[in-house]
Structure 1
Amino acid sequence: MIATVIAITALALHVAGVFAAMHAVMHTRTAQGAFAWVLGLVLLPYVTLVPYLFLGSSHFGGYVDLHRQRQSRFFVLHEEAAQSTWLGTLAHSEPVRDARYDAIGRMLKTAMHGGNALSLHVDGEAAFTAMFEAIARAERYVLVQFFIIHDDVLGRRLRDALLERAAAGVEVCLLYDSVGSHALPDAYVDRLRDGGVRVRRFATRRWRNRFQLNFRNHRKVLVIDGVRGFVGGLNAGDEYLGAKPPLSPWRDTHMQIEGPAVADLQRAFAEDWYWVTGERPPHAPPPERCGRAASMIVATGPADRQESCSLFFTQAIHAATKRVWITTPYFVPDQAVFGALRLAVFRGVDVRILIPSRPDHRTVFMASTLYAHEAIVAGIRMFRYQPGFVHQKVMLIDDDTAVVGSMNLDNRSFRLNFEIAALNVDQAFAADVEAMLEADFARSDEVNPNDYRRLSYFRRVALHVARLFDPIL
């Protein structure tokens, strides 16, 4: 009897594995990912079937269509409200044309706006000091979005700052990711709600995809009164201030924008908020002109019709004629981005990539080590930051373009996460980023091919095994 039950169970698992494999063939975005899932689901359904429920689908059930429908509805409401309020003030503020990045704007249905004032905030203390000062000056509303919020010293400083503004009559909206902030206690959220803060968690899970955990909102956005905005790599937790060994000191970068581009930063938040609540958050006209920089807000995600984050990096790298300097905590590029980097080398471009010397995720670190070796062979200079963990997501192109945001060079950012960055064309701001990265490279060790060759054979095998997990890293 027991043997019969076991046999029936095994047969049922194999049948389920075959159907899941058919689903993987139809819906997994890359051929490599589909092939890996099919092998596992057909041959070892006992091991792979449950993980596939959580990680395998490249689309949320019903989410993409519903997101696009709600997004279209949001734009209609947005236009109706804007006609009588602030869009008219921008009507004579024509978008800035830059042929190098026009394709990005067309892909994302966004534009580059001139007249922005930019500030670079190096590391958490400087960034959060500026953000808390901006929140304290808010008069109408505060829009806040983080991937991770912890109930620790920094997280409570954020909570108290938002409660203070809410008590002063300022409308406060807080959005956090349900996976990234899974450890955030209910008491933290209840305290905010009781104090008048509109707080919601972002989740792509609905009844048809209730098992889906693989899609996350990785954006970090702060908008104050429509006047100034912040974007970058920092989350709200003590580790981002370097307060948690062994990864400290924590190296990260955020930036502040004042000017017309804040409207697009605000719109990106509004789309996410509308998906969760069905309501528009507050909005106000941004300043017409605060500086001389041109900025494009690049918001990407798995609901886009194109693999927009990967294509963004590809186009930006192709635009370089002199240099491409990138710093990323996770270097697991897809073929399009890796090919763009290698072609840049053949064009004579100075291509440098800064990655951590300490791992926060062991499998990703191992895969990055293998890609770093292959990059060196292709002529790309790789550096490992020595003082602590480097988490910043920054790209410097030639002498005038700098990108600061939440995007990593890995498949998760390319295809699974909602991401955001500011692409800025301004020589003064680019010079600030250049000085910052030169200081980072000075604190780094350059990787050479011998580092890989010195590894034992079994260690090298482990690196190649780690790379097999590319589709979900």
Structure 2
Amino acid sequence: MFALFLIFYRERDTSVTWAWLLVFMFIPFLGFILYLFFGLGLSKKERYNIKNQISLDFESLDNIYDSTLQLYDDIPSDSKFKQLAYFMSNLNHTPLTHHNEVKILVDGKKKLESLLHDIKKAQKFIHIEYYAFVTDETGMKVVDLLTEKAKEGVEVCLLYDELGSKGVQKSKFAKLIEAGGKIQTFVTSKKAILKFRVNYHDHRKIVIIDGKVSYIGGFNIADQYVEITKKFGYWRDTHLRINGPATSILELRFLSDWNVSVPENEKLSGKLDYLYHEKPNESAYTDIQIVASGPHDEKQQIKLAFTKLITSAKKRVWIQTPYLIPDDTILDAFKIAKQSGVDVKIMIPNKPDHPFIYRATQYFAQVVMKYGVDVFIYDGGFLHSKVLIMDDDVSIVGSANQDIRSYKLNFEASAVMYDKSINTELAHYFDKDLKQSTQMTQQMIDDMSIWLKFKQKTARLFSPIM
């Protein structure tokens, strides 16, 4: 009866439906419980509330369009990207931003140092949003500094995903709250178990300081991201520090996430003080579009952005991702790219942080190899970088992985950049990582045990609901 309800009443992908039917078939009673917590999805009311809040907050964009500054529009500096930029703008109805200065950060300690340095200089506000914000030694460095800034009168707002922040001790926020700081957990992680929505995470990692400087990428706030641990070794990730108008789009994204997570009387308005309205920095020339997506919207904007970049490539598509669990759309995109003569390389970790998901990653690595894609296994530590490099000019960095969860279930944000120098620098890091990687070969696949292959194929069956 429950399976019939699932098939005929719930609107979802056929692959997802069949995956849940497999769960019911093999573990019927436990499967029912798992479905309640992981399969129900957001209610219509929750979807509406999130969409409505985004619309309200992004109305502030009307106040920052100033033709004399030439910071926001839909026209890229290089006309050859006109169609691509138009497509990206339509995904979230947000503009392309000009005159951004971008610094690439690939080391956890340097990213933390840079972030703390910018927080120290904050004069008006600090808005922070992380999937994982843990109150360990690293987290407390940030909390203690935020407390100092709050005492100085700086507005401090910290939003985190409670389910992703394992090990957080809320009591350690007491001094920050006493100093005037505001702490909130993301809407979907509030009473997640009671409301059967433990499968929906705020996976974004963004910081906005004084409306001028912002951060976006893959690093969270916890010891494992800045230290060499026994479990993971060196943590290899990619983050961006942005000084420019793209900061405004990230700020509006933060405001929407914050406002949908707090009571009415605690909402933040889209004040002009929050947004970037400086004179353009003529020496900064990176064009950036922020693409965001979440389960509240069925468009799957992040996946469409990936698909467009992969199928538009003429020379190369180089990807780094800790999880490789693509759906049929992305798999077809890889086929199209390879059949068009594009150099497609994908780099994945050599170890799991989630064993079952890693088996699915191993399976799909073998699938894309059949299309001619070169797969490399990073041996220099744990690869958590989420990067796509297209040709010589376009690249994307953010929180989204190449997996179904990032396409459909998580709240994600990534930065699409049109800049040859940024593309070249990311390609440099990719080449550097290749020197610490092993290319996956057919012989390696043939040498895998029957038991390992069985686990990989089993994980693949459940990949649509991971």
Q: Same fold (TM over 0.5)?
A: yes
One-letter amino acid of the counterpart of residue 285, structure 1: Y
Distance in 1, Cα, partners of 2:8 & 2:338:
35
Query: 1:11 is matched with which residue?
Result: none
Deviation at 1:205, TM superposition (A): 6.0
SS in 2 for 1:242: coil
Query: 1:67 is matched with which residue?
Result: 50
Answering whether residue 134 of structure 2 is matched by residue 150 of structure 1, we say yes
Residue 39 of structure 2, aligned match among 28, 44, 56 = 56
Query: 1:216 is matched with which residue?
Result: 201
Matches within 5 A, 1:197-346: 197-204=181-188, 210-277=195-262, 278=264, 279-280=267-268, 283-290=274-281, 291-346=284-339
Cα 1:264–1:139, aligned 2, differ >3 Å: closer, same or farther?
same
SS in 1 for 2:407: helix
Distance in 2, Cα, partners of 1:368 & 1:90:
49
The alignment yields a C-alpha RMSD, in angstroms, of: 2.0
One-letter amino acid of the counterpart of residue 66, structure 1: N
One-letter amino acid of the counterpart of residue 138, structure 1: A
Cα 1:363–1:20, aligned 2, differ >3 Å: closer, same or farther?
same
Cα 1:43–1:155, aligned 2, differ >3 Å: closer, same or farther?
closer
One-letter amino acid of the counterpart of residue 280, structure 1: L
Distance in 2, Cα, partners of 1:305 & 1:288:
37
Distance in 2, Cα, partners of 1:178 & 1:207:
9
Distance in 2, Cα, partners of 1:33 & 1:296:
31
Deviation at 1:460, TM superposition (A): 1.1
One-letter amino acid of the counterpart of residue 172, structure 2: Y
Answering whether residue 420 of structure 2 is matched by residue 427 of structure 1, we say yes
Matches within 5 A, 1:26-41: 26-27=9-10, 29-41=12-24
Contact 1:21 1:42 in 2 (8 A): no
Answering whether residue 354 of structure 2 is matched by residue 358 of structure 1, we say no
Cα 1:268–1:368, aligned 2, differ >3 Å: closer, same or farther?
same
387-396 or 26-35, which deviates more: 26-35
274-283 or 452-461, which deviates more: 274-283
Distance in 2, Cα, partners of 1:350 & 1:75:
38
Deviation at 1:431, TM superposition (A): 1.2
SS in 1 for 2:261: helix
Moved over 4 A (4+): 86-92, 205-209
Contact 1:25 1:34 in 2 (8 A): no
Contact 2:323 2:401 in 1 (8 A): yes
Deviation at 1:19, TM superposition (A): 3.2
Distance in 2, Cα, partners of 1:144 & 1:206:
18
Deviation at 1:213, TM superposition (A): 0.4
SS in 2 for 1:294: strand
One-letter amino acid of the counterpart of residue 268, structure 2: R
Query: 1:6 is matched with which residue?
Result: none
115-124 or 93-102, which deviates more: 93-102
Contact 2:126 2:210 in 1 (8 A): yes
Cα 1:42–1:432, aligned 2, differ >3 Å: closer, same or farther?
closer
Cα 1:373–1:207, aligned 2, differ >3 Å: closer, same or farther?
closer
One-letter amino acid of the counterpart of residue 325, structure 1: W
Deviation at 1:472, TM superposition (A): 2.8
Contact 1:101 1:316 in 2 (8 A): no
Deviation at 1:365, TM superposition (A): 0.8
Deviation at 1:153, TM superposition (A): 1.1
Residue 401 of structure 2, aligned match among 408, 417, 425 = 408
Residue 178 of structure 1, aligned match among 159, 162, 177 = 162
Query: 2:177 is matched with which residue?
Result: 193
Residue 140 of structure 1, aligned match among 117, 124, 127 = 124
One-letter amino acid of the counterpart of residue 249, structure 1: Y
Distance in 1, Cα, partners of 2:26 & 2:440:
39
Deviation at 1:72, TM superposition (A): 2.7
Deviation at 1:302, TM superposition (A): 1.0
Distance in 1, Cα, partners of 2:335 & 2:240:
29
Query: 1:100 is matched with which residue?
Result: 84
Distance in 1, Cα, partners of 2:189 & 2:416:
31
Distance in 2, Cα, partners of 1:432 & 1:207:
43
Residue 163 of structure 1, aligned match among 147, 153, 163 = 147
SS in 2 for 1:35: helix
Cα 1:359–1:28, aligned 2, differ >3 Å: closer, same or farther?
farther
One-letter amino acid of the counterpart of residue 57, structure 2: F
Give the paired residue count.
451
Distance in 2, Cα, partners of 1:449 & 1:464:
17
60-69 or 388-397, which deviates more: 60-69
Deviation at 1:459, TM superposition (A): 2.1
Contact 2:212 2:247 in 1 (8 A): yes
Deviation at 1:284, TM superposition (A): 3.4
Deviation at 1:140, TM superposition (A): 0.6
Contact 2:72 2:96 in 1 (8 A): no
Contact 1:150 1:183 in 2 (8 A): yes
Contact 2:317 2:388 in 1 (8 A): yes
Distance in 1, Cα, partners of 2:29 & 2:393:
53
64-73 or 402-411, which deviates more: 64-73
Query: 2:360 is matched with which residue?
Result: 367
Residue 399 of structure 1, aligned match among 377, 392, 396 = 392
Deviation at 1:326, TM superposition (A): 0.5
Distance in 1, Cα, partners of 2:307 & 2:127:
31
Query: 2:79 is matched with which residue?
Result: none
Contact 2:72 2:245 in 1 (8 A): no
144-153 or 207-216, which deviates more: 207-216
Gaps of 5+ in 2: 77-81
Cα 1:343–1:246, aligned 2, differ >3 Å: closer, same or farther?
same
Report percent identity of matched pairs.
30
